[in-house]
Amino acid sequence: MKSGLGICIVILWVSVSPNCQAQIQSNISFESYVDLIQEPKEEALSYLEELYAAFNAGKLKQSQFYFIVIIQDEAGKWEQVFIEVEEWEDGFILGMLASEMSVVEGPPLGAAFVFDEEKIVDWLVIDEDGREAGHFITRYLLGK
């Protein structure tokens, strides 16, 4: 189960496989997932102040910068999505939905998305050379 979960998470950020989120949900409850990712989430969040300073100083303009949030609907369905950050001020983020939603019914790819910092579970920066920083949850799950 764990290796399948890790593979699915990797697929999630690149291009959401239609069955990926369903596979994750069939293997683990929302509460169990939140518990499982607590350690890498805390590590990711420990960088927010540094990321905020870099973003607002323009140091990430040449990079792709995403926050990862978990969306949950009233029926209890949930999925993790990537939001490409466009603005970040006073604890609120404006971005564009950068991953297709396949489990929770929601806005289409590219739709504007506004949320507060409390929704962030992880982040990813891809620099011009393709090097990645962040992505703590995926790296953690792949190590399991």
Distance of alpha carbon 11 from alpha carbon 38, whole angstroms = 21
- Spatial neighbors of 7 by CB under 8 A, at least 6 apart, are none
H helix count then E strand count, the chain = 6, 6
**What is the secondary structure of 61-112 as a DSSP string?**
TTSEEEEEEEEE-TTS-EEEEEEEEEEEETTEEEEEE-S--SSS--PPTT-E
Give CB contacts under 8 A, 24+ apart, made by 8-11.
Answer: 9/80, 9/137, 9/138, 9/141, 9/142, 10/138, 10/142
User: With contact defined as beta carbons under 8 Å apart, do 37 and 121 qualify?
Assistant: yes
C-alpha 138: how far from chain center: 9
For residue 134, what are its two tokens?
Answer: 């962040």
* pLDDT given at position 136: 96
Mean pLDDT by 10 residues, the chain (144 residues): 38 39 65 94 97 96 95 89 96 95 88 96 95 93 78
* pLDDT given at position 18: 39
Tokens 């910092």 belong to which residue? 117
- Bridge partners (DSSP) of residue 6 are none
Q: Give me the residue spans of the domains in the chain.
A: 2-143
For residue 31, what are its two tokens?
Answer: 């509460």
